[in-house]
Copies of this chain bind each other. A is one copy, B any other.
Amino acid sequence: MGLSEFEIIERFFATAAIRREDVLVGIGDDAALLQVPADHEVVSTMKTVVEGVHFGRGANPQSLGHRVLAIALSRLAAAGATPAWVTLSLTLPEANEAWLTYFSTGFTKLAERYQVQLVGGDTVRGPVIAIAVVANGFVPMGQALDHRGARAGDLIYVTGTLGEAGLALLAERGTIRPSQEVRARFQARLDLPQPRVAEAKVLRHLATAATDLPDGLVQGLGKLLHASGVGATLYLMELPLSPETIPWLPAAGGRSFAAYAGGDYELCFTIPAEHQAAAEMAIAKLNSDCTWIGVVDTAPGLRGVLEDGSLDTLQ
């Protein structure tokens, strides 16, 4: 490609204002040198997306830059980690400066919001655009959240609202036809997911397990329950929905759409009943929302309670 690896990284990414004190050697060298705070553990996650598989040709590069970092930060959030460093592998058919400008803007803006520093990477040529991100964060020793701690009797919560990113996909396909304003709202949820970093952090002491929901509530919670060796019952009528979402549910297949639709990147967590008030208050203090949507029980599988009280097997 026209620009060398070093030039690409320098010109498009090194402009980010983040200069973390724990980054002793950052981008530009063959290897980064990094400090982990005492009594903390490292949480690390990797995400790869490929053009034609995870996103279409001509996908908005600024959304893409945001989205690929958001996906990785969302996973860190689900572990209760504070994001710190990120490494980026960029495969490009050509060094398209406009594309790089928009991509790096989306990436860098989100990185700045979470004080995440790009500490290394690789830019290579390839037949299609492919992006691999490794994100690393810290968590105080012994306080990381994972999928394995949910116990029968725990309450199941979810942050924010569900279904808007899924409705954006239905609008793209023409299955639903919301107003331009509502469609833009749904599209923003799909294109610019917001990782629940702050919410997960205050839940470290309170939650028994947590997961983010890239592929929807049923899939994410299902994985968590399986890892914990328990099952759950969801109150489908309690799933948190935005007012804009409700009119489109019938066309989307009913209320359970919000249980299956992915892309919202909300956080689902389980808490013992005695932490319920503390968790709700901690989330409210962040000017954020969480909703009690179900209960962990001993019977394996995931059941949904419908409006008429009947049970539906979700997974």
Contacts and interface: CB of A to CB of B under 8 A. Distances in A.
Interface of A: 24-25, 29-36, 38, 41-50, 52-54, 75-76, 78-79, 81, 85, 87-89, 91, 119-122, 124-128, 130, 132, 134, 136, 139, 141, 144, 146-147, 211-212
28 contacts: A25-B144, A30-B78, A30-B147, A30-B212, A31-B44, A31-B45, A31-B75, A31-B76, A32-B43, A32-B44, A33-B41, A33-B42, A33-B144, A34-B42, A35-B141, A36-B36, A44-B85, A47-B122, A48-B89, A48-B91, A50-B91, A50-B125, A52-B126, A53-B126, A91-B130, A122-B132, A127-B127, A127-B128
Contacts of A134: 46, 87, 134
Majority DSSP secondary structure for residues of A touching B: strand
A29 B147 contact: yes
Nearest to A79: B31
Contacts of A35: 41-42, 141
A31 B91 contact: no
A99 to B, nearest CB: 18
A48 B79 CA distance: 27
Given A41-B24, A42-B34, A79-B33, A53 B124 contact: yes
Q: Which of A49, A87, A132 has the most CB of B within 10 A?
A: A132
A78 B132 contact: no
A76 B52 CA distance: 34
Interface centre among A43, A120, A126 (most CB of B within 10 A): A126
Contacts of A31: 43-45, 75-76, 78-79, 81
A30 B211 contact: yes
Contacts of A122: 46-48, 132
Contacts of A146: 25, 29, 33
A68 to B, nearest CB: 11
Contact of A132 (B48, B85, B141, B144): B48
Contacts of A121: 46
Please give me the 3 A-B residue pairs with the lowest Cβ-Cβ distance, nearest first. Answer: A31-B45, A50-B126, A48-B122
A54 B128 contact: no
Contacts of A46: 87-89, 120-122, 134
A193 B23 CA distance: 30
Contacts of A54: 124
A50 B124 CA distance: 8
Of listed A38, A121, A130, A144, residue having the most chain B CB within 10 A? A130
Nearest to A141: B35
